[in-house]
Each structure stands twice: as C-alpha cells, then as structure tokens.
Amino acid sequence: MEKRELTCIGCPMGCQITVELENGEVTSVTGNTCGIGDKYARNEVTHPERTVTSTSIVLGGDKPRVSVKTASNIPKDKINAVMKEIDSAVMHAPIHIGDIVVKNVCGTGVNVIATRNVEAI
C-alpha cells in the first residue's frame, strides 16, 4: 500500500490530506474537512491537472502582450508543451476577454483564451 501526503488547494482551508493507494487505485482519503478535498486528492494522485496562465504577443495593439489562460484544466504532464504553443501564438488587435488565442491546445480539447482587452491602435 502506498501513502501520499498532500496539501489541498481546493479551498482556503489548506487541509493536510493523506491518500492511500493500492495498485494505483485510491482506497482512502483522510484529513479533508470538505468534499472538495476528497475530490481534489483523488484527482491529484490519479491524473493531476492544472490551469495554465501566461501571455501572448499582440500586433497592432495598445499593449504588446495579452494575458491568457487555459479555459479549463489540462493534464499536468502537458504544461511544457502547452506553454510552448502559447509562446508561439501571435494575436492581432483588437482582442477581447474570452477570445480564443489557441484552439484545442496540444490536442487537449481545451482552448487558451484572452483574459483582458487589447485595443487596436
């Protein structure tokens, strides 16, 4: 049996959670004070995911870059590939919050979207 110790990031409580696994399957989760912690711990040990935030280049805008993020979580092991794809993206102003910067980033099914407006100059 394998034990993993985690600090939950699902809510501000920051519970210290212990997850027990057997043959890659979660057998117990303890230490969480809410259901969010249980869900977070199970997901974190079986298939961890993260939201990625960054910036992309803007041409012809009142700002040289636009802040972006993945519209939902992506597998943690794809973060570097996702960052490379975001880094190579170039947008033309105007850009509005929610505009898709990279569609289906790295084949994850998740779009990268703008999180601020950039006006054309």
Which of 25, 22, 101 is closest to 61 using CA atoms?
A: 101
pLDDT digits (tens, 9 = 90+) for 30-54: 999 999 999 999 999 999 999 999 9
Q: What does the pLDDT read at residue 59?
A: 98
Helix (H, G, I), strand (E, B) or coil at 58: strand
**Higher per-residue confidence, 59 vs 1:** 59
- pLDDT of 1 strictly over 90: no
pLDDT digits (tens, 9 = 90+) for 4-36: 999 999 899 999 999 999 998 999 999 999 999
Strands 2-7 and 16-22, how do they pair?
antiparallel
Measured at the alpha carbon of residue 114, what is the angle toward residues 113 and 120, in degrees to the nearest 5?
Answer: 140
Domains and CATH numbers, the chain: 2-46 (no CATH), 53-114 (3.10.530.10)
Q: For residue 69, what pLDDT band results from cuts at 50, 70 and 90?
A: very high
User: What's the average model confidence in pLDDT over 74-87?
Assistant: 98
